[in-house]
């Protein structure tokens, strides 16, 4: 016997969370609950403003229609669904089928959003691999170069992940590279999407010896994973990619090409983030996922994130907008 519920959530964000050009004050999304007899599976559907094409409202309407068919015993038509809807529903089906292992990888690559000195201190206390992520491309490229250099000099074992989100022209990218001493460039595990076009990013990697990773490019029309000089990693943001099956396929293609797959957050609530940590432990066990986004919220949802002190809203406190 199938039944399902659709919950709506709104969670307050920390002040100063900026997505591209927009301040994100409240994170909005949906939680689907699929039941079959005594078993239950959850999924989160949360289009990310400025990144997803669909709005939360459109995603919610589509999810409800699909749930209506699902409870009648029909299969979910995930191929034609919005990526966020396809991800949330396929994750709920996977959990319902017992296919998502319970153990998660809760190690994170700390995101440096404030004072670099705070991060240096945090990293010096971090056991194991010292991986950190810094957003670049927001201020002067020269400053970004100096910050990267400073981190590598302060913590020689560091594996820095930098993310320029396609902000730089080739000239700006060169200005950045100039400030990272050649002997320090290996301390950069990868730099995500340095330039506005993939071609310019590839040329940058070849000219500078700085390894790059694809993130936005993974969602470009016609993208295929392939080994290319200078490319070492593929960032997978399931909420933006689509079905769990497509994510599994991307992970496999990435590994077959000899590259690193990094499961990363699209600012899901703690419920969705926990599922991503479980997906990462299962599919990319040797890699620290890019999930350090709980700190951007002011509240959690249902499943607490390890070591977070933020208050937790239970699912039972949310409005059920549809059930059957
Ligand atoms: O990848 C990570 O480590 C954290 C997630 C992250 O950076 C991110 C989260 C939401 C939207 C865009 C981005 C981004 O990669 O710029
Ligand atoms: Mg990125």
> Is the CB of residue 163 below 6 angstroms from any atom belonging to ligand 1?
yes
Q: Please, are residues 282 and 276 in contact by the beta-carbon 8 Å criterion? A: no
Give the separation between CA 172 and CA 166, rounded to whole angstroms: 11
CA distances in angstroms from 281 to 32, 228, 278, 289, listed in the order given: 23, 26, 5, 9
> Is the CB of residue 215 below 6 angstroms from any atom belonging to ligand 1?
yes
The residue annotated as part of the active site, out of 5, 133, 167, 237, is: 237
Binding residues: 163, 192, 215
Q: Which domains does the chain have, with CATH numbers?
A: 2-103+309-323 (3.30.390.10), 111-295 (3.20.20.120)
Q: What pLDDT does 122 receive?
A: 83
Give 57 Cα–ligand 2 centroid separation in angstroms.
Answer: 25
| Three-state secondary structure call for residue 143 | helix
Q: What pLDDT does 119 receive?
A: 83
Q: What pLDDT does 113 receive?
A: 66
Binding residues for Mg(2+): 163, 192, 215
Residue nearest to atom 11 of ligand 1 (CA): 266
Task: Give me the interface pTM, i.e. the ipTM.
Answer: 0.96
Q: How many CA atoms lie within 13 A of 244 on its CB side?
A: 21
- Taking 50 as the pLDDT cut, the residues of the chain under it are none
Closest among 225, 211, 107, 228 to 162, alpha carbons compared: 211
> Is the CB of residue 211 below 6 angstroms from any atom belonging to ligand 1?
no
Give the separation between CA 161 and CA 131, rounded to whole angstroms: 7
């Amino acid at each position: 016997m199938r039944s399902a519920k659709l919950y709506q959530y709104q969670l307050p964000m920390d002040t100063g969370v900026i997505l591209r050009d927009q301040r994100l004050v409240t994170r909005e999304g949906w939680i689907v609950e699929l039941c079959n007899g005594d078993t239950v599976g959850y999924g989160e559907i949360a289009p990310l403003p400025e990144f997803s094409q669909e709005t939360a409202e459109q995603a919610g309407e589509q999810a409800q229609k699909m749930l209506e068919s699902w409870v009648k015993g029909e299969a979910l038509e995930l191929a034609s669904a919005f990526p966020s809807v396809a991800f949330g529903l396929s994750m709920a089906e996977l959990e319902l089928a017992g296919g998502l292992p319970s153990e998660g990888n809760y190690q994170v690559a700390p995101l440096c959003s404030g004072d670099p000195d705070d991060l240096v201190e945090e990293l010096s206390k971090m056991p194991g691999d010292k991986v950190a992520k810094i957003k670049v491309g927001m201020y002067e490229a020269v400053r970004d170069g100096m910050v990267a250099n400073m981190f590598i000099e302060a913590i020689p074992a560091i594996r820095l992940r930098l993310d320029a989100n396609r902000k730089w022209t080739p000239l700006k990218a060169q200005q950045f590279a100039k400030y990272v001493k050649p002997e320090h460039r290996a301390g950069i595990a990868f730099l995500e999407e340095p330039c506005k076009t993939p071609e310019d990013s590839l040329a940058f990697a070849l000219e500078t010896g700085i390894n790059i990773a694809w993130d936005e490019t993974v969602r470009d029309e016609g993208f295929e994973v392939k080994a290319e000089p200078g490319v070492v990693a593929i960032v997978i943001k399931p909420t933006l990619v689509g079905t769990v099956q497509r994510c599994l396929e991307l992970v496999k293609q990435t590994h077959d090409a000899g590259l690193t797959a990094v499961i990363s957050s699209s600012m899901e609530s703690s419920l969705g983030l926990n599922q991503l940590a479980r997906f990462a432990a299962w599919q990319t066990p040797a890699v620290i996922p890019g999930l350090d986004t709980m700190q951007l919220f002011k509240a959690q949802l249902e499943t607490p994130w390890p070591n977070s002190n933020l208050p937790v809203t239970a699912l039972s406190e949310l409005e059920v907008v549809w059930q059957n």
